Amino acid sequence: MAGYEITDVPSVELSDSEQELLDSIGADSIQSELMAEAIISVDERDEVLGPISKISAHRDAGSYHRAFSVLLFDSKNRLLLQRRADDKVTFPGVWANSCCSHPLHSESELIEENALGVKNAAIRKLEQELGISPTTLSTNDFHFMTKMRYSARMNETWIERELDHILVAQIDVELKPNSNEVSEVAWVSYEELEEMLLEEEPSNGSIAPWFRCIAARIMTEEWWNAAGDAAALAEIADEKIHDMGDATHMPPEAIGAGLNISVLEVKPLVEQRIMSSLMSSRHERLASAMTHLIHGGGKRLRATLPWLVGKAVGDSHSGMLDVGAAIETVHNFTLVHDDIMDDDDIRRGRNAVHIEFDLPTAINAGDAMLAIAFERLVQAEGLEAEDVAALVNRIAWMVRRVSEGQQMDIEFEDELAVSEEDYIEMIEGKTAVMFLTCAEIGARMAGADQDTIDCMADWGLAVGLCFQLMDDLIDVLSDSNVLGKPAGSDVAQGKRTLMVIHALAQPDSDDKTTLLAALGKGEEADAQSIEAALQALGNLGSIEYAKQRAVEYHAKAHACLDRIPQGPAMRALRELTDFQLKRIN
């Protein structure tokens, strides 16, 4: 096709691993060349970040990039659909809108005035894909309607993450489809497209997730009626970015990603929200203290959990990332104060905030972080005004429960007679309630029914309890380099973990005496006495008992997930349920 012979296509040289990946899936030379094209990397607001290769934008976690979708009508008011060729790297064989692709990071396709860049790109791709001669088209034929932001995963490796510019044109054209791009075309009426959208088991190929978002959630019958009327189209066009969230569940053949990739998809978006909120302080030292632990990294499981749950049980949207950022800020506020109360000098392999700065600054930073978390919360996108009060109330309840759990933890250090029930109540507040709240709010914001919301809250609670039990176990089973703090520090501080509670309930013995010799001794407990105390916990059967209890909560969490319809996003939740347990197995 002539379109493949243009000489000004910017490209990025593929790495050996990228070429090997394309070879492994049988991509031909043309598709490999297309995956090297330099397209336009953008942020969530469609602000240009720079060039990015097409393969980088679509591989693994992917990256937001600019795209366009053409809705081409003929004079009979029928919409042209194309079925993507089986040679396509992403979403082969699915039905899509007339033409969907990416503007290049080139001078002519970066023009934003009057959407001229995406219109130039549309003319180029209409020739490449459908053989429509550029001489029969003009940018004036295309009418910009709106934008949408969405993600849609095909499988573990390939994903679409696009800021899609939607264009409408009504032109009678001669088609010469390129078989490397398009396997089939069809002209459909409004009623025929509605039938395709409602078909539960498509007999002739499924519908691409981005086109389903356009056709079912954005494009109305009004668009069809206005297709040939520039003034009418202008009247219904808008400058919005419609948030479609994650649309992976739409194609029946989609395969979800595991936990790591699923977190990486949105982790940078959540961290950007956290950093922008914390850095908004007018005081540089305070801002530095608030962001100190954030710069130290972290898994961001709590931060991404509302999104992960939301897309598993309903419709996801960016407001879930705002809420996740707020909860992660609360979590980091508790860590700042925890390190002060526990007299811990190290957190995530770096100085605790009160060590890096000073004690008053650390306390002040924690207080400010709590306030900023609620600022982020009430500004969350996609929330109806009437929902804000309930959400604020629930997060406030979570903060209170965390504080109660922390207070119990403090008081337990001076008590020998702490029961297992007391311990479970303490860790429910200190740790598990955050998982419960993230899961419950994610399900609620996704529009799930009450049974599903309750089920996901139960799942979050079970995961959180398992998580804290495993965290206690990791403290006695891992070395200091892995922990980022001294191994056995919980024993030295006198923490009443389930292992310690179980051990103290055993008959008097040499092992129990050895444990008591180090328990709560702080700096007086040397490395040798701590190591002996950890050995004593094993000899008393306390480590194995804690493992058994963790396994029980792990099984309960999976039982909750068994009650939920099993879509592609469920894979990440299953892996999150297994996450801590795998660390010691």
DSSP for 245-302, please give it.
Answer: EE-TTSSTT-----HHHHHHHHHHHHHHHHHHHHTT-S-HHHHHHHHHHHHT----HH
Task: Spell out a b/e string for 431-455, using b for 16 or more CB atoms within 10 Å of the CB, else e.
Answer: bbbbbbbbbbbbbbbbebeeebbeb
- What does the alpha-carbon distance between residue 321 and residue 176 come to, in Å, rounded to a whole number? 44
Q: How far is CA 296 from CA 4, 62, 141, 344, 484, in A?
A: 46, 24, 52, 16, 11
Pairing, β 38-42 against β 48-53: antiparallel
pLDDT at 522: 83
Helix residue ranges per DSSP H, 505-541: 510-518, 527-539
pLDDT of residue 1: 31
Q: Mean pLDDT of residues grouped by 10 in the chain (585 residues)?
A: 54 91 89 92 97 96 98 97 94 96 96 97 97 96 98 96 98 95 96 90 85 96 94 96 96 92 97 95 94 91 96 96 96 94 86 96 96 94 88 96 92 84 95 97 96 98 96 80 61 90 95 94 88 95 96 97 96 94 71
> What global pTM score does this model have?
0.91
Q: How far apart are CA 322 and CA 398, in angstroms?
A: 17
Structural domains for the chain: 7-246 (3.90.79.10), 266-582 (1.10.600.10)
Give the residue among 332, 391, 342 at the shortest CA–CA distance from 365: 332
Specify the pLDDT at position 477.
84
Relative orientation angle of helices 259-278 and 301-313, to the nearest 10 degrees: 120
What is the torsional sign of CA 317, 242, 119, 80? positive
What is the model's pLDDT at position 479?
61
> Whose structure tokens read 């309840």?
397
Q: Which residue has the tokens 């003009």?
A: 138
